Structure 1
Amino acid sequence: MNSIVLIGTNHNTSPQDIRERLAFDNNRLDRYLRELKSIDGVVEVMVISTCNRVEVLYVSEGDVKDRIVDYLSKHSGIEKKELEGYLYVKEGLEAVRHIFRVASSLDSMVVGEPQILGQIKDAYKWSVEFLTSGATINRIMRRAFHAAKVVKANTDISRGAVSVAYAGYLGVSKLIDLEGKRVLSIGSSEMNRLALEYFSKHGADIYALANRTKGNIEDLCEKYNAPAYGLDEIGHILPEVDIVITATSSKEPIIKKCDIPNKNLIILDLALPRDTQKGVEDLENVVVIFIDDLKNVVDETLKERKKQAQIAERIIDDELKAYQEYVESLNYDEVVKQIRLTAERIRKLELYKFQKIYKNKVDDEIIDGVDKLTRSLISKILHQPTMNIKDFLNHPEGDLYVELLRRLFGLSKSKRDVRCFFSENN
């Protein structure tokens, strides 16, 4: 039987500089996924790489944990022995539960923050697009998104505007009165957009926007009536602003030490890897707030969410049980077995009727021939459809085909609509 395993690290188990070195460049994720999939024994694989976590969820034949850690060590340049001290390993249902909790924002630095679900959906879609997911990961992720939906609908865990971006706003607002302060935003991510809303709402002047591709920030330029700049122009804008918000996916620093002006400046760096060159935080006139600096900023705000999280954990327990029942009900071999048994019962009943009708008209040799003929017909009729279903299982909608097959043969008691996953979750 194949194993389900998750190996990773997050904001609770490793410092930011370790996560930066481990982080996967999402622009090159196809390469990383295919390299992981090519590891001997790996059947399916998916990568989650965000500012607060780097995780590899995989399905394998046999134990390949050591090979996955070897890959992460080589990828990050961190010695294997050191790296193992930061990693957690979750297997079987524990791995499935972890994914459910991550998708439901119960494992986030800011419990209940909304960005993580979108990031997980993107991670899954990439594994589908690059053909590294399969039947098992598809089932886990479908149920994980359903669990997140149930948690959101049945708790107040996401009430209020608490997120990493909001925590960043709170951190800056403790240092400076935002009214009239000029802000430069670097990047076009959801994190940038949320942070800009908070700063603008509380009196800051969104003075300039910068991005590698200017076309990706046209809507923000129009919304805040601010000019767009390229990343190579940042050094010219810094002397004109008081606050910098940066959250790009660049692997190299965007804000260089040599570009820092001789004036007071606050940099809110929400990127991983960091967008700010090392040493900038040591300058006398500069305050740099990194992601890990925000851990304690919103503790008071999150007290109520922690109460709601306890309710959410019970929902996760129910969803995990439902997942187990779901997987068992869609077991391919069992479904095929039940279909063949159903067909065989029908065949035997019809053969019995044939014998009664023609009892005195045909001899045993003909009855035996009809028996063999009908057995052969049933086998040939069912062969191609069942083989096709086996192939379909590695498609994101594979379980849909299995469930439809069960309903066609009256093997399912479910009354729920069978819907396409991607149409529900776009």
Structure 2
Amino acid sequence: MENSLNTLHTIAFTHRNLPVSEIGNLHIDPNDQKERLTAFQSAMNLEELMFLSTCNRVEFLFVTEDIVDHRFLHEFFNALYPKLSETQRKLFADSAEDYTGIHAVEHLFSVASSVESMVVGEREIITQVRNAFEDCRKMQLTGDTIRLVMRHTIETAKKVYTETNIARRPVSVVSLAYHKLRDLNVPLDSRILIIGAGVTNTNMSRFLRKHGFEQFHVFNRTFEKAEKLANDLNGTAHKLSDLNTFDQGFDVIITCTGAEKHIITKEIYQQLLQGETDRKIVIDIAIPQDLSPEIIAENNVTHISVEVLQEISNANLKERSKEIQHVEQIIKEALYEFDHNHKSRMVELAMRSVPEKVKEIRSNAVENVFHNELASMDSESREVVEKIMGYMEKKYMSMPMLMAKEILLKKR
């Protein structure tokens, strides 16, 4: 029972040890996740699985009896990313951060509390972690262990944001991108193309609207999502394929689609330009990037990428790091509580068959072992025996669980 948590593992690929462009190769399109992750879970014999993908990290939280070693990682990439080259597989295997047991829980607490974010203190990550869990739960990939871990993760992150200053004057990826745009003195009447209507672009475009920008065109693969965001911005909605024929020009492009290939090719960019030659601004916060690299080299464009924002965030880290010690203390206390609750839960699961066993013993005693003796008793005596057996039954159901929990508490 004490070693049961050692079947919990996290494999993380983050901005700390890989270029964000490489992490983009591990992205899985949301439309393909259910099919690919379900097949992957079966192929790797994982009891539970959760997949987290953000603009600068991809992580897998899973439960398995197998040893997670180099052989496991090789099979891991073969099963989920068969199109990766041998060189790429070696890069990812060598760069993977592997956490086991309580260390996997501690890592997730730190991630959700933004301690390990590219920009320490950004609140977006807690929503991304929660949504990742909900998506995987709906896909029936998760189970009791990940459910318990996630409940404590969200509780811990909320406490961090409430009781510390780590999120004071937060500088998220969205905020960084906006401040960069503001520093370029972009006029409020600029024509802005929003490509992708996900959480990041929705937050970014609403931020721009709040600060006075007015001309928005929203493009998205699912037109209904483009329409919803466009309505919020008092802008115009388009299908993603409309980029090929859009003829109204632009001043700023903000793109974050989560697509596996470049959305804005040379040909599409030339169509969007409509012959204009003045400097354009492209904020590309997608992983992998939506803008073809050739466009940057061949056109008059200011390109703001996730890599650029990461450089800016390094300066912010120095200020936010002052709160990390306080956050680490909260996480330490949360781990202590989680360990207790997890062990209690393991006792409950191990003891859940006790009530049925006790009922079986009682039934056998009444119907077989002491049948003749009970039959010879008067009704008043049988009633007393029934009360005694009922009392004993309740005690035998509750006492083993209480004793087991007490033993675990003494070992803490």
TM-score range normalised by the length of the shorter chain = 0.7 to 0.9
1:18 Cα deviation after fit: 1.2
User: Given that residues 73 and 93 in structure 2 are in contact (C-alpha distance below 8 angstroms), is that contact kept between their aligned partners in structure 1?
Assistant: no
Q: Which amino acid aligns with 1:231?
A: L
In structure 2, the residue matched to 1:287 is 302
1:179 Cα deviation after fit: 3.6
User: Given that residues 45 and 57 in structure 1 are in contact (C-alpha distance below 8 angstroms), is that contact kept between their aligned partners in structure 2?
Assistant: yes
Q: Which amino acid aligns with 2:61?
A: L
Q: Which runs of 4+ in 1 moved over 6 A?
A: 337-341, 409-413
Of 311, 315, 321, 2:336 maps to 321
Structure 2: distance between partners of 1:324 and 1:193? 38
1:59 Cα deviation after fit: 0.8
CA 172–107 in structure 1, closer or farther in 2 if over 3 Å, else same: same
In structure 1, the residue matched to 2:57 is 53
User: Given that residues 9 and 104 in structure 2 are in contact (C-alpha distance below 8 angstroms), is that contact kept between their aligned partners in structure 1?
Assistant: yes
Structure 1: distance between partners of 2:247 and 2:255? 12
1:193 Cα deviation after fit: 1.8
CA 330–239 in structure 1, closer or farther in 2 if over 3 Å, else same: same
More displaced stretch, 68-77 vs 136-145: 68-77
Of 69, 77, 80, 1:72 maps to 77
Q: Which amino acid aligns with 1:274?
A: Q
CA 97–378 in structure 1, closer or farther in 2 if over 3 Å, else same: same
In structure 2, the residue matched to 1:391 is none
In structure 1, the residue matched to 2:116 is 107
1:95 Cα deviation after fit: 0.8
User: Given that residues 194 and 201 in structure 2 are in contact (C-alpha distance below 8 angstroms), is that contact kept between their aligned partners in structure 1?
Assistant: yes
- Where do 1:366-405 residues align within 5 Å? none
User: Given that residues 127 and 133 in structure 1 are in contact (C-alpha distance below 8 angstroms), is that contact kept between their aligned partners in structure 2?
Assistant: yes
Provide the alpha-carbon RMSD of the alignment. 3.6
1:294 Cα deviation after fit: 0.6
More displaced stretch, 56-65 vs 219-228: 219-228
Structure 2: distance between partners of 1:301 and 1:6? 27
In structure 1, the residue matched to 2:205 is 196
Q: Does 1:20 align with 2:20?
A: no
Structure 2: distance between partners of 1:75 and 1:146? 37
More displaced stretch, 4-13 vs 26-35: 26-35
Structure 1: stretches of 5+ with no match in the other structure: 352-357, 383-404, 414-426
Q: Does 1:307 align with 2:322?
A: yes
CA 271–33 in structure 1, closer or farther in 2 if over 3 Å, else same: same
More displaced stretch, 178-187 vs 3-12: 178-187
CA 166–54 in structure 1, closer or farther in 2 if over 3 Å, else same: same
Structure 1: distance between partners of 2:34 and 2:232? 34
1:47 Cα deviation after fit: 0.9
3-state SS of paired residue (1:116): helix
In structure 2, the residue matched to 1:229 is 238
Q: Percent identity?
A: 28
Q: Does 1:170 align with 2:185?
A: no
Structure 1: distance between partners of 2:235 and 2:44? 52
User: Given that residues 9 and 53 in structure 1 are in contact (C-alpha distance below 8 angstroms), is that contact kept between their aligned partners in structure 2?
Assistant: yes
Structure 2: distance between partners of 1:51 and 1:167? 14
In structure 2, the residue matched to 1:388 is none
3-state SS of paired residue (1:240): coil
User: Given that residues 56 and 118 in structure 2 are in contact (C-alpha distance below 8 angstroms), is that contact kept between their aligned partners in structure 1?
Assistant: yes
What whole-Å deviation, never above 9, does each CA across 1:325-364 have from its counterpart, x for those lacking one? Answer: 11112223554488799x79xx9xxx9xxxxxx9xx98xx
More displaced stretch, 31-40 vs 52-61: 31-40
User: Given that residues 118 and 313 in structure 2 are in contact (C-alpha distance below 8 angstroms), is that contact kept between their aligned partners in structure 1?
Assistant: no
In structure 2, the residue matched to 1:271 is 286
Structure 2: distance between partners of 1:32 and 1:317? 35
Of 97, 107, 125, 2:134 maps to 125
CA 201–31 in structure 1, closer or farther in 2 if over 3 Å, else same: same
In structure 1, the residue matched to 2:156 is 147
In structure 1, the residue matched to 2:147 is 138
In structure 2, the residue matched to 1:240 is 249
1:278 Cα deviation after fit: 2.9
Structure 1: distance between partners of 2:26 and 2:265? 22
1:178 Cα deviation after fit: 4.0
Structure 2: distance between partners of 1:299 and 1:83? 24
1:127 Cα deviation after fit: 2.1
CA 289–22 in structure 1, closer or farther in 2 if over 3 Å, else same: same
3-state SS of paired residue (1:287): strand
Report the count of equivalent residues.
Answer: 369
Structure 2: distance between partners of 1:229 and 1:119? 26
Q: Which amino acid aligns with 2:295?
A: V
In structure 1, the residue matched to 2:14 is 10
User: Given that residues 119 and 316 in structure 2 are in contact (C-alpha distance below 8 angstroms), is that contact kept between their aligned partners in structure 1?
Assistant: no
1:299 Cα deviation after fit: 4.2
What whole-Å deviation, never above 9, does each CA across 1:374-416 have from its counterpart, x for those lacking one? Answer: 59x959xx9xxxxxxxxxxxxxxxxxxxxxx979x98899xxx
Of 35, 40, 45, 1:36 maps to 40
Q: Does 1:157 align with 2:166?
A: yes
Q: Which amino acid aligns with 1:293?
A: V
TM-score, normalised on structure 2? 0.78
User: Given that residues 207 and 241 in structure 1 are in contact (C-alpha distance below 8 angstroms), is that contact kept between their aligned partners in structure 2?
Assistant: no
Structure 2: distance between partners of 1:226 and 1:316? 43
TM-score, normalised on structure 1? 0.76
What whole-Å deviation, never above 9, does each CA across 1:274-327 have from its counterpart, x for those lacking one? Answer: 211232221240222221221122444554432223211111111011100111
What whole-Å deviation, never above 9, does each CA across 1:187-228 have from its counterpart, x for those lacking one? Answer: 111211221233334443433222222321334323332222
1:75 Cα deviation after fit: 4.2
